[in-house]
Structure 1
């Protein structure tokens, strides 16, 4: 019975971890709010001990701040941190994309084609005014960038990139608006450069893509 209870708690903990993490990235749990264990227990259906473990895991990803005896709060959002996260994303993604373009096979090309098609459809819908597609766009944006680097050959690199990407996307969710046709043009260019295996060109385009994302978020005045 004890083992069964532990298995159930681990399952609940995994679900709660993903739910809390997603709510932070999506901006539902706003920067700086106190994460009170009793309230979280009711909201996410996990025990206090499990929630402490979850919040410590999120603190290691810099999505939560541990305040010693004072508990936990959602990590603040600042312009300096946005720039820092952008630099880290660029470092990881540039390295991974170089490796992918050098070693990617036909299956890799298929993943990139499929991911870009889904992303471009949703971006066209957003440009047409369907703003309820924003959350879907976030998923497909990550799927496209992840497909581009998926042939890098390093699970550790992919996992690190995914964590940093979420921290970057969090700022876009807090800005609460779509970047428009410029981001769609960037994604099309990244796709075409990937298909041509143009390493130098795609790294240059990726650099501009991430930097313009930072400028856009800051221009909204919400950070």
Structure 2
């Protein structure tokens, strides 16, 4: 039986327009993406009437969607005062970095043990796409940043895609996206260092060297967090 891969919420395409629930799911993905990409900034109030018009959805469906986002700590429900986008802080950034390392390293152990030829093919294809976008970014094409965001996750997802645990993949996806929000708010691509990390991780993954891969991931995530902290004007002191 072929192993299933799990798409992250940020990147998953909305369901086919089937009525009702499809529209709600599409709005859920769009609103979630707007938070992660910083289009809806941390601490901003989500006014139901304005959001209803912006996302073309009923107020009741919008409330349901916002409560779903509270489960991921992307939105705060303030009782009678409504909803706001969750704030960011240095403490949460470091907690997310630590949690991502734990989840991704565990997934690497499982995935490298079970990975087959199809798994290798997914890694090769994902890195080929990521490397092409990174070359353009290094050349100054900042318009490709959103494409890079998607390709970055697709590459990391491909590496752990043979872990055969939907729960683990969903948890990693959520943490990855919340960590990514900080990168988007910092408004900076880390440049050659992150490209080199990805190339090393690619080579190591094809050798199935789990220990070396986990070392790269830990260094990669911690360096990303430190890069964000160097551009911490948007972070609170908490």
- TM-score after normalising by structure 2: 0.89
Distance 1:53 1:86 in 2: 29
1:43-192 paired onto structure 2 within 5 Å: 43-192=54-203
Aligned counterpart in structure 2 of residue 194 of structure 1, from 205, 213, 227: 205
Distance 1:107 1:166 in 2: 26
Shift, 1:12, TM fit: 1.5
Shift, 1:9, TM fit: 2.5
Runs of 4+ in structure 1 deviating by more than 2 angstroms, as ranges, are none
Instruction: Name the structure 1 match of 2:21.
Output: 10
SS at match of 1:139: helix
Shift, 1:160, TM fit: 1.0
- RMSD, matched Cα: 0.9
Distance 2:83 2:161 in 1: 34
Distance 2:22 2:209 in 1: 44
Aligned counterpart in structure 1 of residue 42 of structure 2, from 31, 41, 66: 31
Q: Deviations over 1:79-120 (max 9, x none)?
A: 111111111111111100111111100000000010011101
Distance 1:10 1:153 in 2: 28
Q: Deviations over 1:2-33 (max 9, x none)?
A: xxxxx633121111101100100100000000
Distance 1:178 1:147 in 2: 21
Instruction: Name the structure 2 match of 1:203.
Output: 214
Distance 1:8 1:39 in 2: 23
SS at match of 1:96: helix
Distance 1:32 1:119 in 2: 32
SS at match of 1:84: helix
Structure with a larger share of its residues in helix: 1
SS at match of 1:65: strand
- Consecutive unaligned residues of structure 1, counting only runs of 5 or more, are 1-6
Greater shift after overlay, 137-146 or 212-221? 212-221
